[in-house]
Amino acid sequence: MNNLKKHIYLWYSANKRELPWRETANPYKIWLSEIILQQTRIAQGISYYDRFIEEFPTIFELAKAPEDQVLKLWQGLGYYTRARNLHSTSKFIVKYFKGVFPDDYKTILSLKGVGQYTAAAVASIAFDLPYPTVDGNVYRVISRYFGITEPIDSDKGKKQIHQIAEELMPKNNCGFHNQALMEFGALQCVPQSPKCNLCPLKETCFAVKMNLQNELPIKSKKTKQRNRYFYYYLIESGDSVFLEKREGNDIWRNLYQLPLLETNKELSEAELLNTEPLFFNQSEINIKSISAIKKHVLSHQIIYARLIHVESNHTKSLIEHFIQTNKKDIFNFAVPKLVEEFLNEARFGEN
């Protein structure tokens, strides 16, 4: 194991990416980066991290901000529960810890939106505590190097990986160790076509010896996805358009969207022309256009969406159901990326 660590440490020192959150030991900034990077590629996450730090340089500014401001800044990252948990946790830390980020693993783990991986990352990088960060990259490196043939999404496989990760953990420089192992998986021991010929571990790696790089790690479960059919209505009335706020526990909670008709099956264009959602309440409308179908893939669902652009001079029933706003202000609201794409493609909001 020492040979493994030695080679990975040398590789990391020579090949690591220069990332803004690697330039600090500030637990607030490290925690923020880890929440952003959940379900987000580093290349995309950097700009969001920079904007959040500029807008909220300390946890106090984040805690004081209205949720709509946080969600707007998060717009485009997806998985908005992360943003709501980030905001909620910042207020919790300010209220109960006077804005001082907790410095022990169990307390960090108890924070809303923080799981074992994130708690270990903050604890090790900010406070040099010996807790392994076992993400997808680490699963892959350990599975291949040690020849773990148990599915990594099974309880037995997870236990094996975590046990090895704990045995690899040094007593000091824990943050360096965790980042080196994750970076090695992200850049060198990649999922497809790993760079084994250039790998410093090729002489001792089980997967290389047995030619199992493409088979390991093994997964047994496939994510089930369901189909949903969304029909958004961009309703213009003079200089006004209408929005609604998503509520409940569904996707994109607390974000704004265009009035939505969701059906349990796909509607043809002819069916859409003959379908009048209840919110129109028999008012006269003029359908300007119907977009092509846009496919939006999420982890557990696939959304097939269309935009119906209409004009209506009868707004009484609309005002009862929706938020009326000026056309020029529509991009001030935090909306799902899917809605933003429709508006941009319709060149809406341009003079």
Question: Among 29, 26, 78, 72, which Cα is nearest to 50's?
Answer: 29
Question: Among 224, 251, 178, which Cα is nearest to 22's?
Answer: 178
Q: By the 8 A CB rule, do 20 and 119 touch?
A: no
Phi–psi pair at 312, nearest 5 degrees: -150, 135
Catalytic pick among 18, 23, 34, 271: 34
Q: By the 8 A CB rule, do 338 and 305 touch?
A: yes
74-79: long-range pairs with CB below 8 Å, 24+:
74/48, 74/334, 75/255, 75/334, 75/335, 75/337, 75/340, 76/337, 76/340, 77/36, 77/40, 77/44, 77/45, 77/48, 78/39, 78/40, 78/298, 78/337, 79/38, 79/39, 79/40
Distance CA 251, CA 83 (A): 13
Question: Among 217, 195, 87, which Cα is nearest to 144's?
Answer: 217
Q: Catalytic site residue 203?
A: no
Question: Among 148, 124, 129, 115, which Cα is nearest to 39's?
Answer: 115
Distance CA 142, CA 184 (A): 11
For residue 149, count other CB atoms closer than 10 A to its CB: 14
Question: Among 22, 150, 195, which Cα is nearest to 164's?
Answer: 150
Q: Where in the sequence numbering do the catalytic residues fall?
A: 34
